[in-house]
Structure 1
Amino acid sequence: MRTEQEMFRLILDTAKEDARILAVGMNGSRTNQRVPKDSFQDFDIVYIVDDVEPFLEDQQWIDRFGTRLIMQTPEAMTLFPPTENGRFTYLMLFEDGNRIDLTLCPKEQANDWNEGDRLAEILLDKEQLLPVLSKATDQDYWIKKPTQEEFLDCCNEFWWVSTYVVKGLCRNELLYAADPLYENCRKELLRLLSWQVGAENDYMISVGKNYKYLPNYLSDKNNECLLKTMRMSNGEQLWESLILQQKTFSSLARTFSRMNHFLYDHIQAEKVIAYTKKHYVIGENRQYK
């Protein structure tokens, strides 16, 4: 696997040798001093170019970065159309394990090449096109203290969607039940957990994309509980995951509301828990745990 230094040299030499590339910027995890470094970190690179089109007309120029294992070009896709902004991106994973997410940005957008992201650094600027940046910081990604309304919305979404899961399980529609359980209920549980750890750290931390650093701030007990909510391979495990999520969410919501002097509709929660319990017991004479 090529080293980090070799990759940076390749990225910068490519830009220096091509007159069409006017500047190079980098954003993402490699600009964040708080993120642990490992071999899976992407090189999130932006080339500010005189004109994007010539690069697209002959794309052999990207071959110099190495033999690709797989590549995706979002702006060229039909099923997953990106935002039309005049840029073009190459997401490239190479056979040696390195990955470059390389975006071509037209010079007309040089002043906003990083789209306001403060996790950004300038690596090369041939013509002094780019605005001066402050030191890279992940502050924009810190957990933000919720308002009373946001807290109530989170709770209502969790309890409301729980009833969809119950309906799907009672019908034995496991795919239907699993989707809202994972995509909605669990996400609201993660949101609430992130608010909790945010409060415990004065809202000066980030839990990362898809809550990936959240376990670092949880107790062993809460981590184990969270992992158990991911067991969804059959109907019984789906029921158990739903019940565990409900109990965990209810306890957290009560604690968090007291900490922040928020209103919390505990009656709504108790009714949905009772509704779940009723249908779980009726289903196959199971015992509600």
Structure 2
Amino acid sequence: MAISAQLGDLHRADLSAGPVEYREEGSGTPIVFLHGIIANGDVWRNVVPELAGRYRCITPDWPLGAHRLPMRDGTDFTLFGLAALVDEFLEALGLRDVVLVANDTGGAIAQAVAARHPQRLGRLVLTPCDAFDNFLPLPIKHLQLLGRTPIGLYLLAQSLRSPLIQRLPIAFGRLTERSIPAEIMRSYTEPLRRISGVRRDFAALVRAISTRFTEEAARGLASFSRPTLIVWARERRRFFPVQYAHRLADALPDARLEFLDDTGPFVTEDQPVALAGLIQEFLQASPCTP
């Protein structure tokens, strides 16, 4: 689970699929953050402090492989199942006019929320993420194969113990231009290695990954009329190529597209202050309209 104190106090929401831990800091308009697979709320640890002075920042550990509390057997880990989980979380906290901010796999989930459960959303922010036919990106497609079997999942989990493996292109190496701190890498990789229920969740998740879901979510974006900010990386490694940012901007009725340089897909790691500045400017320029 996330270990970063700057994300705020630890809380727990008990949902129909199981418990979701989250951290909260600040007050005002709620911002809810989504991360990707084999990651948790620590992805946002350098962004939240830039926003918490004006906004209520809520940073859950979604059940995507780096969470501490497993989900119940039979949980729907399809993209739309996860979108329903996010919507239930927003309902459990009594949130409305939410700013949903997402990265990586979380961006695909956010698109599904916008397409199927827009009623609690006020604005949407997408950073480099899965979309359309890019789910999962080619460099990490092997996770779907390894995660399907107990032995493959065990080997994957144990291999991520090594800092050398972590920095390979098939792991976290293409996600950042700068190294992720060792303690944060541990928060991402230890749950998969140490908690059998997390491994069970992850296996169900990777078995449910399909581009048919991201394609369907993208088609549904035409009906999401709330203001949307897309902040993409001009990254040289083409993990999330820029054409997907343009396609998302074309699909959304009220979208603004910005680019950041000197960053990998984890813009939260490489350019957190610049990202937070763009989010703050966007929120000030596009007040929520119920």
Tell me which interval the TM-score lies in, with the shorter structure as reference length.
Answer: under 0.3
Q: Could you state the TM-score of these two structures normalised by the residue count of structure 1?
A: 0.21
Which has the higher relative contact order, 1 or 2, with Cα contacts under 8 A spaced 6 or more apart?
2
Higher helix share: 1
Q: Which has the larger radius of gyration?
A: 1
Q: Could you state the TM-score of these two structures normalised by the residue count of structure 2?
A: 0.21
